[in-house]
Structure 1
Amino acid sequence: MSAEKVILIEPVGQVTLVRNERSRYFRLRVKPTGHAHVSMPVLASEAKAVNFVKSKSAWIIQQQQKIKTGLTVFGQDNSFRTKFHQLKIVKVDQGQVTNLIGNGIIQINIPNKYDYQSPTIQQFIRKILIEVMRQEAKIYLPVRLQELASNHGFQFQKVFVKHVKSRWGSCSSVNNINLNLHLMRLPDRLIDYVLLHELAHTKEKNHSKNFWHLLEEICPGSKQLDRELKKYHVDIF
């Protein structure tokens, strides 16, 4: 069980406090939106949480600056696309921000009176993009994973599509494979690389020499693809 409260703490801005019965200590992270998120024990006081955040303010601001420079600012000249959709931003006379999805287009209608660069507008766009990628991933990734497994003689149990913060994919001890919906914004060669990487883990559970040898057999140039993948951030785009 958990309970959330959003407060404003200067100089870091919006902070989400989450009381979690599994938390024994204060744990801090900065989300891709730049907002700080604190997991705290149920009985800890809000004042103690605020002091904790203030004590970490320099680190939080540093992370916010990294995110600010790494995030795309979506505008009319932006060429962002997912696996099956192209983002299109249109300035309109209507009174509110809306979206229209179809025929390979994610159209975001932004009233002329609004600044498209504002955090609220940018967050709305990201939310829509994530939902589109979620639907694409649920349709595409399980099918593509099965194709690659059949082509290379692998077997897995179940496949799950998730929105996680740190991994493109993972393989459990019982060969269930988890895949990140953010794969849908990677080039096809990197999508396949991640899927083959996790399939290789159904036979080799760690990153031993045997694992990399197996992966190279089924995915030539795997080391180079791994280096290329590191240029992308899982949840910062």
Structure 2
Amino acid sequence: MFMKAEKVIDVEPVGQVILVRNERSRYFRLRVKPNGHAHVSMPVLASESKAIEFVKSKTDWIQEQQQKLKTGLTVFGQDSAFRTKFHQLKIVKVKQAKVSNLIGNGIIQINIPEKYDHQHPSIQQFIRRTLTEVMRYEAKAYLPFRLKELADKHQFQFEKVFVKHVKSRWGSCSHTNNINLNVHLMRLPEPLIDYVILHELAHTKEKNHSKSFWDLLELVCPGSKKLDKELKNYHVDVF
């Protein structure tokens, strides 16, 4: 007895899987749809248990594709226009044997051997690590200076400043008025960098997001609501 031509089942840990019997299929074919669901095209006479076994054998690959869809990570290539506050990314193909980087004069140059595919996960990880280290260097040089500049201008007082690589927030202000700022601020447009800094400085006087907080923030950062909405177009540690 055959199951329906199309059937949706749950397979842990990948979630919903769509099984489709296809008269033209001679073997199992797998893809991950934009909604993150695995889609299996299978021969008409193949059993459901064999389809499930096939899906489970591909769990790692399916989860990798689902993660890419979830995070929206950029695949860096020679046409990438990525830049930090002080550097521009440049990817070049070279005849050398190893992947390397060269940083200076406002350029982050990634050298990729001609025989390698730039989309390979290990190369993408190398590029992302390099960019993060450059942003860390820039952030430690720039953010404390800009924080003090804006605090003096608007008469805010803070205790210490910490520049960190975290995955959850652009910035934070402790109950003792220590300011934490994320190295990933260095890939935001300058108005958004200032917005985050002023947002945290406003918390030195207003510890919650009450109307008083937003009124204060608007006073020192006109258009703050619009900037807050624009900031949501960016994701911490996802680029």
**TM-score over 0.5 (shorter chain):** yes
Q: Which runs of 5+ in 2 are unaligned?
A: 1-11, 15-55
What is the rounded CA distance, in whole Å, between the counterparts of 2:128 and 2:69 in structure 1?
Answer: 18
Q: Is 1:121 matched up with 2:130?
A: no
Q: Which residue of 2 aligns with 1:64?
A: 67
TM-score of the two chains, using structure 2 as the length reference: 0.73
Matched residues, number: 184
Superposition pairs of residues 85-100 of structure 1, within 5 angstroms: 85-100=87-102
* Selected match of 2:165 from 160, 163, 166: 163
Which residue identity lines up with residue 213 of structure 2 in the other structure? F
SS at match of 1:232: coil
**Alpha-carbon distance, 1:11 to partner:** 7.5
Give 1:61 shift. 6.3
Q: Distance in 1 between matches of 2:199 and 2:66?
A: 30
CA distance in 1 between counterparts of 2:210 and 2:65 reads: 35
Deviation, structure 1 residue 60: 5.5
**1 CA distance for matches of 2:114 and 2:64?**
31
Task: Between 142-151 and 57-66, report the one with greater CA deviation.
Answer: 57-66
Shift in Å, 1:153: 0.3
Q: Give the distance between the partners of 1:192 and 1:60, measured in 2 at CA.
A: 37
Deviations 1:28-57 (CA, angstroms, capped at 9, x unpaired): xxxxxxxxxxxxxxxxxxxxxxxxxx9xx7
Q: What letter is aligned with 1:97?
A: V
> Contact 1:84/1:104 (CA < 8 Å) preserved in 2?
yes
Q: Which residue of 2 aligns with 1:190?
A: 192
CA distance in 2 between counterparts of 1:221 and 1:152 reads 16
Superposed CA RMSD in Å reads: 2.1
SS of equivalent residue, structure 1 residue 136? helix
How many angstroms apart in 2 are the aligned matches of 1:192 and 1:221? Answer: 12
Whichever residue aligns with residue 66 of structure 1, its letter is L
Distance 1:92 1:144, change over 3 A: same
Q: How far 1:62 sits from its partner (Å)?
A: 8.0
Name the structure 1 match of 2:152. 150
Aligned residue type for 1:169: G
Structure 2 residue aligned with 1:102: 104
- Residue identity matched to 2:220: I
Q: Corresponding residue for 1:199?
A: 201
User: What amino acid sits opposite 1:103 in the alignment?
Assistant: N
- Report deviation, 1:65: 4.1
Q: Which 4+ runs in 1 deviate beyond 4 A?
A: 57-63
The question of 1:225 aligning with 2:227 is answered yes
1:142-165 Cα offsets, whole Å, 9 max, x none, are 000000000000010000000111
TM-score (norm 1): 0.74
1:67 to partner: Cα distance: 3.6
Q: Name the counterpart of 1:210.
A: 212
**Alignment check: 8 A CA contact 1:156 1:175 kept:** yes
